[in-house]
Structure 1
């Protein structure tokens, strides 16, 4: 069956994978890499899977904890070959990469970890960063792991809301004279 896209063989797929990996904001899993690479109708899934495996074997990509990252060798060789990729393929990749990178950057700025405490229970540590560093850190004791995981999940879903609610509560308390030491 003839292919109708611009990518026609495994070498083209390797160039495309290196092009993508050089532009992602952080390591990605196989599913995300697949979604980004299937931007052209000429990409065959099985050749793609082989190409990724070969790029790891040759040291162009690394695979750690299920996440792929580009190596310096991959970055150098990819840059030398990216001019062979058609403009339309690069443009489609750029649009998809913008969405993925936005999600990756946001995920890097929002963290929540659950840890068991030696004396019992758990603690959940929730952190929110902006482009300049840490903006907000909150650590809470929880009676159970389930409760801690629910808090972590809620924080990951709406970290800005949690941040704003805490700031609002603190400022309203100050405004209403509820804090000791505030003169009325």
Structure 2
């Protein structure tokens, strides 16, 4: 290990991984944990991989084989709390900044969902949903004739779901009804 950063040995890399795993809001894949851990220049891919495997072997972390997601265990959480002050303050600050961005992206991924499913008649159903911290904001299902159209709709929805929600509300509130036209 080259000591270009603040992390000096593999034990500190393990502390760093536990620190991150204890603060991420849900289990994450290898790549996400790697990106978060590479916040210090002294950490490299091979040391990270070895330390991560050790933490799984010692039951500080779990690896769900099916999903490939890593999660912290109670043992890992306890040891993280004990050892977190061993990490340099500047590294913890950088981690916290990266964790905020990661957790925001994870929350967003959980709040905005879209999928395209085939129907028996050869058409497709596009399901779009938007949630917030309180629950469902919008659930919308649309029929489209082709799968590629469904995937385009799903992708565009994921880019700006609030805009679509706002436009639907605006359209429903501002479109004259037959009763409105009779009053005129």
Same-fold call, TM cutoff 0.5:
yes
Unpaired stretches in structure 1, ≥5 consecutive residues: none
SS of 1:137 mapped into structure 2? strand
Q: What residue in structure 1 maps to residue 51 of structure 2?
A: 51
Q: What residue in structure 2 maps to residue 70 of structure 1?
A: 72
Q: What residue in structure 2 maps to residue 83 of structure 1?
A: 85
What TM-score do you get using the length of structure 1 for normalisation? 0.89
Which range moved further: 66-75 or 149-158?
Answer: 66-75
Q: What residue in structure 2 maps to residue 40 of structure 1?
A: 40
Q: Tell me the distance in 1 between the aligned counterparts of 2:63 and 2:144.
A: 35
Q: How many angstroms does 1:58 deviate by?
A: 2.6
Q: Tell me if 1:141 matches 2:143.
A: yes
Q: How many angstroms does 1:93 deviate by?
A: 0.5
The 3 A distance-change label for structure 1 pair 2 and 57 is closer
Q: Tell me the distance in 2 between the aligned counterparts of 1:66 and 1:121.
A: 33
Q: Which runs of 4+ in 1 moved over 6 A?
A: none
Q: What residue in structure 1 maps to residue 99 of structure 2?
A: 97
Q: What residue in structure 1 maps to residue 108 of structure 2?
A: 106
Q: What residue in structure 2 maps to residue 17 of structure 1?
A: 17
Which range moved further: 26-35 or 13-22?
Answer: 26-35
Q: Tell me the distance in 2 between the aligned counterparts of 1:161 and 1:150.
A: 16
Q: How many angstroms does 1:25 deviate by?
A: 1.9
Q: Tell me the distance in 2 between the aligned counterparts of 1:53 and 1:150.
A: 39
What TM-score do you get using the length of structure 2 for normalisation? 0.89
Aligned length: 180
Q: How many angstroms does 1:137 deviate by?
A: 0.8
- Aligned-residue CA RMSD in angstroms? 1.7
Residues 75-107 of structure 1 deviation map (CA, whole Å, 9 limit, x = unaligned): 122222212111111111011111111111111
Which range moved further: 130-139 or 140-149?
Answer: 140-149
Q: Tell me the distance in 1 between the aligned counterparts of 2:160 and 2:34.
A: 28
SS of 1:89 mapped into structure 2? helix
